[in-house]
Amino acid sequence: MSLLSDPKAAVDDLSRPEAWVLGVSVAFALFLLGALLTGALGPTYFLFLVGLAGMYALLSFGLNAQWGFTGLINFSVAAFFGIGAYGSALMTADSSPIAGGFNPLVGLAVALVVAFVLALLIGIPTLRLRADYLAIASLGLAEVVRLIVLNERWLTNGSAGVRGIPSFFEGWPVFSTLPETMPGLRLVVIPGSPILLGTSFWRASLNVLLVLAFAGATFFVLRRAHRSPWGRVLRTIRSDEDLARALGKNTYSYKMQSFVLGSLIMALAGVFYTHLNLYVGPGDLDPITTFYAWVAVILGGSGSNRGALFGGIVIVTIREGTRFLNDVALPIDPAPLRLLLIGVVIVAVMRYRPQGILPPQRELIWPSAVDDRDPPDPPSSGVREQKGGGGDE
C-alpha cells in the first residue's frame, strides 16, 4: 500500500473522496509551483504561508485530540494558542515587560507548562459538564483569558502586544547564523525575472523546518495514540460515555488527559506562531482563531489527523486567498469575505457531509491488520452449500 513501492495499487486503493482530495491537492500544488516559477508568488512569502499552514495543522491536531478523539467541544482553542504564543514571547522578547531575553527553548518549556496549568484550570470545572454547556463555558473562559491578557499591562504589555521576539533558533550553535552564512542564490527560470533567494529566504526555510518537525512529531504521536488502547477508550467515550463508564473506565480522567494533550499541542502552535510572526498581540486571542481550527477539523473529518492537516491548508488558502483576491480582482475588504467563506464552509459541511471530507476509516485500523500481502483465499463454496442447504434461493 506504500505509495513508493506500488503507486498504481495505492492510487486504486483510495476511496473516492481521497482521490478527489489528492487530485485537488496536486492541482493546487502545481498552481503554486507555477506561481513560484513565474515570480507571481515570492518564495519567502510562500514559505511563510507553508509555515502558517503547518501552524493551523498543529492547532487542528490539538483540537482533533479533544473533539475528534473524545468528543470534547472545546471553544477555547484561541486561549491555549494565545497562552503558548504569549508564554514564549514574554520569555524571549527584548521588550518583554517581565522576564525576556531567555533562550527560545526556555520559552517553549515555559509556554507548555503555563498551557498545562491553564488546561487544568479550565478542564477541572468544565469537563464534567454536558457537551453544549462545555462549549459555552469554554468560550466564556477563553474570553476571560483574553480580557486578562488585554488588561494586565504589567504582565503582557496590554493592547500594544510584544515585539522584538527573536527567531526560534537564536542561540543555537549552527542554526542561529545559518541564514546569514548561506549564500544568496539567484535562479533564472523565466528569462528576465530572476528569483532571488537571500537571508530572509533561508530564515523562512528554517521556520518551515521547525513547523515540519513540530507537526510531524505531533502527527506520529497522535496517530499512535489514536490506535492505542488509550485511544480506543477515548473513542468509546466519544460515542457513548455511559458505556465507557459501565466498562469501568474513569471517563473524567480520560477526558482530562485528552484535553491536556490537545491543549499542549495548541500551545505548541502558539509557540511556533510567535517565532514565525515575531509579534504577538491580544488580537491573536480573538475567538475567530478557535473557529478557524474548528472549521479545519470538521471540514477534514472529525477524528482524522490527515483530515486536520488538509483542513489546515484549506484555512490558510481561505485566509490568504481572500487577501490575494482583494489585491487582484474584487475590491472587497478581505476580513468580512473571509468570515463569509468560513461561515459558508461550516454550513455546507454540516449540510452535505457532516462526517467531513476525509473521515477516519482505515486510519483507525492497525496497518498489519489490513495490509495483508497474502489475503486468505475466499472459500470456493458458501457455507450453506457445504451444509447441503440453500433451497430457499
Partner 1 sequence: MTVLGYLANGLVFSSIIVLGSIGLSLVYSIADFANFAHGDTMTVGAYSALVTFGAVGGLGGAVLGLPYGFFLALVAGIAVAAVVAVGTEKLVYEPLDVDSIGLLITSIGIAFIYRAVIQIRFGSDFTRFGIQPLRPIEALVPYGVRVTLHDVAIVGSAVVLVGGLHVLLQYTDLGRKMRAMADNPDLARVSGIRTKRVKLWTWVIGAGLAGAGGVFLGLFNQLSPRMGFNLLLVIFAAVILGGIGSVYGAMAGGFLIGMINQLTPFFSNVVEALPIWPGWLAALLESLISIEYANAIAFVIMVAVLLVRPNGIAGEGAT
Least distance in Å: CB of 273 to partner 1?
Answer: 22
Q: For residues 32, 38, 43 and 48, what is the CA-based torsion angle, rounded to 10 degrees?
A: -40
Least distance in Å: CB of 135 to partner 1?
Answer: 6
Nearer Cβ to partner 1 (144/212): 144
What is the pairing mode between strands 185-187 and 195-197? antiparallel
The whole-angstrom separation of Cα 291 and Cα 244 is 29
Nearer Cβ to partner 1 (216/343): 343
In a 13 Å sphere around the CA of 17, the CA atoms on its Cβ side amount to 14
- Whether the Cβ atoms of residue 56 and residue 312 lie closer than 8 Å to each other: yes
Q: Which three cell numbers stand for residue 151?
A: 488588561
DSSP-H helix ranges across the chain: 7-12, 16-38, 43-63, 69-70, 77-92, 104-126, 131-151, 153-156, 178-181, 199-227, 229-239, 241-246, 251-277, 287-300, 305-328, 334-352, 367-370, 383-387
Nearer Cβ to partner 1 (79/276): 79
Nearer Cβ to partner 1 (63/206): 63
Nearer Cβ to partner 1 (165/314): 314
Nearer Cβ to partner 1 (45/133): 133
Nearer Cβ to partner 1 (238/275): 238
Q: Residue 55: count other Cβ atoms within 10 Å of its Cβ.
A: 26
Signed CA dihedral, 87, 93, 94, 100: sign only: positive
- Whether the Cβ atoms of residue 82 and residue 146 lie closer than 8 Å to each other: yes
> DSSP letter at 298?
H
Residue type at position 340: L
Nearer Cβ to partner 1 (226/338): 338
- Whether the Cβ atoms of residue 307 and residue 357 lie closer than 8 Å to each other: yes
Least distance in Å: CB of 312 to partner 1?
Answer: 18
Q: Which three cell numbers stand for residue 313?
A: 491548508
Least distance in Å: CB of 374 to partner 1?
Answer: 41
In a 13 Å sphere around the CA of 214, the CA atoms on its Cβ side amount to 31
Which residues form the interface with partner 1 (CB under 8 A)?
73, 125-126, 128-133, 135-137, 139-141, 143-144, 147-148, 150-152, 291, 294, 298, 332-333, 335-340, 342-347, 350-351, 354
User: Whole-angstrom distance between the N-terminal and C-terminal Cα of the chain?
Assistant: 38
Least distance in Å: CB of 354 to partner 1?
Answer: 5
Least distance in Å: CB of 140 to partner 1?
Answer: 4
Residue type at position 157: N
- Whether the Cβ atoms of residue 167 and residue 180 lie closer than 8 Å to each other: no
Least distance in Å: CB of 285 to partner 1?
Answer: 13
Least distance in Å: CB of 357 to partner 1?
Answer: 15
Least distance in Å: CB of 320 to partner 1?
Answer: 17
Please report which helix (H) or strand (E) contains residue 161, including its range: none
Least distance in Å: CB of 136 to partner 1?
Answer: 5
Nearer Cβ to partner 1 (187/330): 330
Least distance in Å: CB of 66 to partner 1?
Answer: 13
Nearer Cβ to partner 1 (89/298): 298
Nearer Cβ to partner 1 (152/180): 152
Q: Residue 377: count other Cβ atoms within 10 Å of its Cβ.
A: 6
